Amino acid sequence: MKDDPLDFIRREVSKCVFCGFCEYDCPTLNIKNDRGYGPRGRVRVAKIFIEKDIFSEKSLEYIYTCVLCSACVLSCPAKVDVPGIVVAMRRFIHKKIID
C-alpha cells in the first residue's frame, strides 16, 4: 500500500455495497452475535471513521479481531480489500497513539 492509508481506506470502503456475501466465509463473525466481528461490520466501522471521525473502544475490538485471512475478499463481488482496510486502520490507529 503506497498511498495514504486514509485514501486507501476511503477508496476501498466506497466499493462496498454491503451485500453480505463476504460474511459467509469469515471465521470471526460468529465470535459473538454482532456483525461488527465480520467484514461488513469492519467496513462500516472504517466508513464511519472516515466520514465522521468517530471511533470507539468497540471499534478497536472489531478491527483487531480480524485474522486477515482474506476469505471475505474471495467471496466479495466488488473485491473490497477488507484485510487491507483493517491493516490500514491498524496503522493509522498505531500512528495516532504513538504521535
DSSP state, 35?
A: G
What CATH class does 5-98 carry? mainly alpha
Q: Which of 1-5, 29-33, 37-41 has the lowest mean pLDDT?
A: 1-5
pLDDT at position 26: 94
Domain ranges of the chain: 5-98
Q: Please identify which residue in the block is written with the cell numbers 495516532.
A: 96
pLDDT tens figures, 56-68:
999 999 999 999 9
Q: In degrees to the nearest 10, what's the CA dihedral of 70, 72, 73, 78?
A: -170
* pTM to 2 decimal places: 0.91
* DSSP codes joined into one string, 84-95: HHHHHHHHHHHH
- pLDDT band with cut points at 50, 70 and 90 for residue 93: confident
pLDDT at position 75: 94
Cell matching residue 23: 460474511
